Structure 1
Amino acid sequence: MFRYTTEMIKFITNNVSGRYVNELTDLFNVQFGTTRKNSHIRAFIRNHGLKSGIDARFNKGHEPANKGTKGLYKGGEATQFKKGHRPHNYRPVGSERVNGDDYVDVKVADPNKWKSKHILIWEQHNGAVPKGHIVIFGDGNRRNFELSNLILVSRQQLAVMNKNGLIQKNAELTRTGIIIADIYRSIGSARKRKTKSGKGREKR
């Protein structure tokens, strides 16, 4: 059974705000070299009572009682803002922030939807990140947003690379590390097939 460490719990808690589950899952796997699925992280969020701030939706036709206002409740009394009024700490779309794990986020929509800057840049040139894949920094520098430094890897490749220290401080060396990771995976698969085949012969 998978057990979340204190560091993992802190990571999810610090990064859940303004993110969809699939993005948070990718960040988690990059950070810890795991292969957690969206369903695992979604269950963690639910079980720990965490909120992203972007999942709640009113059903079609539903009209909230405070339509046209935004309220702050203090001591049981509501302070209502008129429609269009923005709180003093409002951040416009396009703003950047550094989250608790040193990744740069960009606000992509109101009221509070943020996305990792390196993923945004990669997707602008390549389209959506494929399912089961993650974008990493080739040289390990989370401030180097050059397209050549943003590398797409599968979660399986990332797990092998983290395990064997194949992510280098040079993007080209990291790309070589991806090739090595694929070789390791191929060798591992071949060994499993051989072991399985040997057990099959023993039963005959």
Structure 2
Amino acid sequence: MHLMTIRRSDGTFVKGSIPWNKGLHIDLSNGKGQFKKGTIPPQHHEVGYIAHHKDGYSFIKVAEPKKWQLYQRYVWEKAHRTKLSKDQIVIFLDGNKENFDPDNLAVVTRKELMILNHEKMLTADKDLSKTGVLVAKLKMKIKEKENG
């Protein structure tokens, strides 16, 4: 039997093409799978490994098997010895995603971040960004008072 797989230029398969693994029988009924026990995959990283993503953000592996955290969040929590809530975000005051100095990191809520982005109050100047964070917090307090 001749196996024929037809693939388009965009990488998708043509309907009706025969897959390369047709007729292969892999017995997975024993519950063991097809990999030997104890084999570590080549893409495995130890706890503490820092991965740099294309978008400029860095992640640190904090637990096994696949528990990752934003590195700026990790640095801020270690420096201040507190756990942040899901609503809180750590931002870079100077806009440099590689500057993990605790003085360059600030915690804002998602609502405050929305105000900062909408009003364009985050700049490359750390002091101006700090002021912008304070203005966003003030605007949130005013809104809370108005709504009762």
Report which of the two has the higher share of helix: 1
1:117 equivalenced with 2:71 (yes/no) = yes
Task: Tell me how far apart the structure 2 counterparts of residues 181 and 144 of structure 1 sit (CA, whole Å).
Answer: 23
1:136 equivalenced with 2:81 (yes/no) = no
Find the counterpart in structure 2 of residue 180 from structure 1: 135
TM-score, reference length from structure 2:
0.68
1:171 equivalenced with 2:126 (yes/no) = yes
1:154 equivalenced with 2:113 (yes/no) = no
* One-letter code aligned to 2:73: I
1:37-52 aligned within 5 A: none
Task: Tell me how far apart the structure 1 counterparts of residues 105 and 40 of structure 2 sit (CA, whole Å).
Answer: 35
TM-score, reference length from structure 1:
0.51
Q: Structure 1, residues 135-190: CA drift from partner, whole Å, max 9, x if none?
A: 11111111100000110112221111111001111222111001222333355556
Matched residue of 1:80: which SS? coil
Find the counterpart in structure 2 of residue 101 from structure 1: 55
Task: Tell me how far apart the structure 1 counterparts of residues 86 and 59 of structure 2 sit (CA, whole Å).
Answer: 21
Q: Which runs of 4+ in 1 moved over 4 A?
A: 186-193
Shift of 1:118: 0.7
User: Which runs of 5 or more residues in structure 1 are unaligned?
Assistant: 1-73, 194-204
Structure 1 or 2, whichever has the larger Rg, is 2
* One-letter code aligned to 1:101: D
Task: Tell me how far apart the structure 2 counterparts of residues 163 and 112 of structure 1 sit (CA, whole Å).
Answer: 34
Aligned CA distance change for structure 1 residues 186 and 86 (closer, same or farther; 3 Å): closer
Aligned CA distance change for structure 1 residues 115 and 189 (closer, same or farther; 3 Å): closer
Shift of 1:102: 2.2
The number of residue pairs the alignment matches comes to 119
Task: Tell me how far apart the structure 1 counterparts of residues 37 and 62 of structure 2 sit (CA, whole Å).
Answer: 24
Q: Structure 1, residues 103-159: CA drift from partner, whole Å, max 9, x if none?
A: 101111222221111111111122111352211111111110000011011222111
Structure scoring higher RCO (CA < 8 A, sep ≥ 6) equals 1
